[in-house]
Amino acid sequence: MMDLDSAFSEAVGDFHKDVKILLLCNPCNPTGRIYERETLDMVVDWCEARKIHLICDEIYANSTFPGQ
């Protein structure tokens, strides 16, 4: 969460931007890294606390792979 707080503070303070949206890709492209449930819950709480919309791209959420 420190990275989100830092980026948020920089956007609001240094660049005088009104932050309205956080875009999260899960799984990450091109690595395929998947965020754990706890991490996603923390991101949702973080966005709610700052009244920021969360857009989460989970186009591959229902993909399955043999043996996994």
Number of domains in the chain: 1
Residue 68 pLDDT exceeds 60: no
> Tens digit of pLDDT for each residue in 12-43?
887 777 889 999 988 877 777 888 889 999 99
Higher pLDDT, 56 or 32: 56
Q: Which one is predicted more confidently, 46 or 11?
A: 46
Question: Does residue 38 fall inside a structural domain?
Answer: yes
As a whole number of angstroms, the distance between CA 42 and CA 36 comes to 10
Distance CA 3, CA 60 (A): 25
Is residue 39 situated within a structural domain?
yes
Q: Which domain holds residue 22?
A: 2-7+18-57
57 falls in which pLDDT band (50, 70, 90)?
confident
pTM for the model stands at: 0.74
| Domain assignment of residue 36, yes or no | yes
Are 39 and 56 in contact by the 8 Å Cβ rule? The answer is no
CB of 32 closer than 8 Å to CB of 2 = no
